[in-house]
Amino acid sequence: MKDHLRGYLTRLHAALATISAEQLAELSDRLYRSYQDGKQVFVLGNGGSASTASHMAADLAKNTIGANMRRFRIMSLNDNVPMMTALANDMG
């Protein structure tokens, strides 16, 4: 089991090392500007990443509910099966 965990952590570390801090900062800035401007943001994932997209959308939407707070307009397309299948059907 320890070998499996070490291997997982090694692969995780290698994957994280490929993420550009500049690109992550740009994504963060774009999300914040979208929130400030009241724009709708869509996220999605394929396979297991669909649950990550759902989790992200839920956290961002939930954590902006409060007195005098603008609601973050974010939707995971994976959570809307009719929309997901319509897009796949109509747009390929």
Query: Do 77 and 42 form a contact (C-beta atoms < 8 A)?
Result: yes
Measured between alpha carbons, how far is residue 52 from residues 44, 69, 75, 91 in Å?
8, 25, 12, 23
pLDDT for 76: 93
pLDDT for 5: 96
pLDDT for 88: 84
Mean pLDDT by 10 residues, the chain (92 residues): 94 95 96 96 93 95 89 91 83 82
pLDDT for 80: 79
Which two structure tokens, joined as six digits, stand for 88?
């796949």
pTM: predicted TM-score of the whole model, two decimal places: 0.71
Domain boundaries, the chain: 25-91
pLDDT for 86: 87
Residue with tokens 């902006």: 64
Quote the CA–CA distance of 61 and 73 in Å, as a whole number: 7
Query: Do 25 and 58 form a contact (C-beta atoms < 8 A)?
Result: no
